[in-house]
Chain A
Amino acid sequence: MLYIEDLVKRYGKFTAVDHLNLEIKKGEIFGFIGPNGAGKTTTMRIIATLLQPTQGTVLVDGVDVIKSPVKVRGKIGYMPDFFGVYDNLKVGEYLDFYGDSYEIQKTEREKMSKNLLELVNLNGLEDKYVDTLSRGMKQRLCLARSLIHNPDLLVLDEPASGMDPRARLEMMGILKELKKLGKTIIISSHILHELTELCDVVGVIENGKLVAHGNVDDIMARVMGRKVITIKLLNSIDRAIKILKQQPAVKGIVEEGNTVEVSYDCEDEELWIIIKSLVDESIPVVSFTKGENNLEKVFMEVTYGYEAK
């Protein structure tokens, strides 16, 4: 769905995007993570045909963003990190205007507006003025706007930024709905555990370079050098550690009170054997969690070098 090859964007001597290569398959949700100024927004703006790259190729569904920007615009829905609304304009009119801008027929866009407002939980607010909506509502309306022409690819730059926890959850719920509808989504967010839940694949960008790319566990393994599972026990910590050390997939154990953090090297299909080994020996396992906030750890690990510079 999206193919990026050797993408470079320079502003004078500063290189915002540095030889970036990326491929996103149809129906995939790709999470873009990296510190501020890493090149996420620049890459997204190039995909959205809003910025001219210095070098490289970007294809959206096989269409070049430089050669056929108008054609690409019909295939993507873009939601920027910061956006404004028009004064004296109603919600229904707002969607109607953008529908019209995408050359959608009046009857079709009326139908789309109604469905989209329902999808983003803004139904019944067609006659409310856009500038009177809360920030969360505006964000959802902007998401509806980006969907008005039924694009194949959604480019969402920090769609939940500045939202309160409830609004963020609502936004994530809508994105999960879109995932079910088979949309391909490229999303950047600083709320990393939300990306863990939502994304099939993530890419870590630093200084314009894609330093890690793959599913969350793979990235974790590559960047942190391990995959982690946290097991909480009622007691028998020492016995549990002894059993765990016998498992070939276990690479390291960190004990912390009644909790052990186990580094392992195997796929999910084999992970249950580690848990089973404890249960079989009647170790009282209270809970086990596969690396909470993994992406945050990855993010911190990756950005540490950048911050230190």
Chain B
Amino acid sequence: MDMKLNNPVLSLELKTRMRSFKTVLGIIIYVGILLFVGSMYYAISTETYVYTGVEAVNANQLLGTTLYVIIAILQFVLIMVITPAQTASCINGERERQTLDLLLCTKMSTFDIIVGKLLSSLAYMLLLIISSLPLFSLVFLFGGITPWDVLSLFLFYIVTAMVVGSIGIFFSTIFKRAVVATVVSYVTIFAWYVLTFLIAGYQITMQHIENLSVQQIEVPFILYFNPLFGFGDIISRHLGAGAQNVFIDIFSLRTSSSASGTNIIGTPWIKNIILMCIITAVILGLSSIRLRPVKVCKKGNR
């Protein structure tokens, strides 16, 4: 039982990573970017509100929610950029460092190795996200956003980091060079986002053509595979009743009763999280098969 909970690769990665100056520098740069953009927006918008004469109470709430959206989007983009870069070098990094063989000839399964690598990258991402918490707390001062909103957003971030991280790991088992694996990971993630929107757009268009009298149609299932759609949903929910998911607006979609919030499992961002977890599990399984040096098979069947 003890062994199942223990992952030597995770312990090793955390130990070596936390001793590296690069980790500290990464946190400083990460929080620095968020702080810079946030304070720039604050400075500009307070000036603007003075000139436009927005009422103080409304101005504060508007400032708080907009600041929240800006920081949330920026953090989402940073996670998308940093996570694949972290994971796309984890297996081929071991290969380049000539430590992979030593790891593979231990009793650890390739799945344990892959999971250990992913968890260590997620732990780092979690550290970055937590380090941005004081910045998010500032938003509470202006009102409009609750701590639960921030927590659910952080959960969404972690799941998103998990899925894009697993894509990075998969390519790190395929390509020997970290740079190639990183570039291919970015391209794949980009293609995933764009293609799901394109396919959804095509489906919607076809439905409109088939039935011209329908003004709004249901959200195509493929959109739930896209983290951007889930992100748009979670942000719109945090902004309150008046706000609508930007992608629903773009596609002129109709949200079903379950999607509008009566059933938590049916809400788009929860559906999105569940699908991302399934995708992660599949990718990790494939990565572990790919990493396995000897494929267990019957004799004469190699």
Identify the A interface with B (CB < 8 A). 45, 48-55, 57, 64-70, 73-74, 76, 78, 80, 82-89, 93, 97-98, 100-103, 142, 145, 149
On whether the beta carbons of A52 and B294 are closer than 8 Å, the reply is yes
Contact B98 A84 (CB under 8 A): yes
Residue of A nearest to B104 (CB): A50
**A88 pairs with B16, CB closer than 8 A:** yes
Q: Which of B99, B101, B107 contacts A86 (CB 8 A)?
A: B99
A69 in contact with B294 given A50-B104, A78-B105, A102-B107 (CB within 8 Å): yes
Residue of B nearest to A67 (CB): B296
Which residue of chain B is the closest to A82 with respect to CB atoms?
Answer: B98
Question: Is the beta-carbon distance between B12 and A85 smaller than 8 angstroms?
Answer: no
Give bound CA distance, A93 to B6, whole Å. 16
Give the residues in chain B near A51, CB-CB below 8 Å.
293-294
Docked-complex contact A49 and B294, CB < 8 angstroms: yes
Tell me whether B99 and A66 are in contact (CB under 8 A): no
B205 at the interface (CB under 8 A from A): no
Once A and B bind, how many residue pairs between them come within 8 Å at the CB atom? 94
Q: Are A101 and B106 in contact (CB under 8 A)?
A: yes
Binding site secondary structure of chain B: loop
- Closest CB of chain A to B111's CB: distance in Å? 12
A78 lies within 8 A of B101 (CB): yes
A84 touches B99 (CB 8 A): yes
CB of B48, distance to nearest CB on chain A (Å): 48
List chain B residues, Cβ under 8 A from A65: 294
CB-defined contacts of B19 to chain A, threshold 8 Å: 88
Chain B residues, CB < 8 A from A83: 98-99, 101-102
CB pair A97–B8 under 8 Å, yes or no, is yes
Contact A55 B105 (CB under 8 A): no
CA distance A86 to B6 in the complex (A): 20
Q: Does B3 contact A (CB under 8 A)?
A: yes
Q: Which B residue sits closest to A98, measured CB to CB?
A: B106
Is A86's CB under 8 angstroms from B105's CB?
no
B191 in contact (CB, < 8 A): no
Kindly state the separation between the CA atoms of A191 and B143 in the bound complex, as whole angstroms.
75
Complex: chain B residue closest to A90, CB-CB = B15
Contacting pair B11 A50 (CB below 8 A): no
Chain A to chain B: the 9 pairs with minimum beta-carbon distance, closest first: A101-B106, A84-B98, A88-B19, A84-B97, A100-B8, A88-B16, A101-B8, A69-B294, A50-B293
The residue among B16, B107, B108 with the most chain A CB atoms within 10 A of its own CB is B107
Q: Determine whether the beta carbon of A87 is less than 8 Å from that of B16.
A: yes
Q: Does B109 contact A70, Cβ atoms closer than 8 Å?
A: yes
Determine whether the beta carbon of A103 is less than 8 Å from that of B294: no
Q: Is the CB of B302 within 8 A of A54?
A: yes
Q: How many Å lie between the Cα of A103 and that of B12 in the bound state?
A: 15
Contact of B108 among A52, A55, A80, A101 (CB under 8 A): A101
Q: Which residues of B contact A86 (CB under 8 A)?
A: 12, 16, 97, 99
Q: Which of A54, A84, A93, A102 sits near B106, CB closer than 8 Å? A: A102
Q: Is the CB of A98 within 8 A of B102?
A: yes
**Given the complex of chains A and B, what is the CA–CA distance between A87 and B20 in angstroms?**
9
Bound CA–CA A67/B295 (angstroms): 9
- Which of B15, B104, B294, B302 has the most CB atoms of chain A within a 10 A radius of its CB? B294
Distance from A147 Cβ to chain B, minimum over Cβ atoms (Å): 13
Q: How far does the Cβ of B93 sit from chain A's closest Cβ, in whole Å?
A: 10
Min C-beta distance of B17 to chain A, whole Å: 8
CB-CB under 8 A for A89 and B16, given A65-B294, A74-B107, A97-B8: yes
How would residues 262 to 302 of chain B score, 1 for a CB under 8 Å from any chain A CB and 0 otherwise?
Answer: 00000000000000000000000000000001111101001
Looking at the assembled complex, report how far the CB atom of B273 sits from the nearest CB atom of chain A, in whole angstroms.
Answer: 32
Residue of B nearest to A86 (CB): B16
Q: How far is the CA of A168 from the CA of B104 in the complex (A)?
A: 27
A149: which B residues are within 8 A, CB to CB?
107
Q: A50-B104, A69-B293, A83-B98 are in contact. List 17 more A-B contacts (CB 8 A).
A: A52-B294, A65-B294, A78-B101, A83-B101, A83-B102, A84-B99, A85-B97, A86-B16, A86-B97, A87-B16, A88-B15, A88-B20, A93-B15, A100-B11, A101-B103, A102-B107, A103-B3
Q: Is the CB of A66 within 8 A of B297?
A: yes
What is the chain A residue whose CB lies nearest that of B98?
A: A84
Residues of chain B within 8 A (CB-CB) of A54 are 302
Interface residues of B in 76-115 (CB under 8 A from A): 97-99, 101-109
B40 CB → nearest A CB, Å? 36
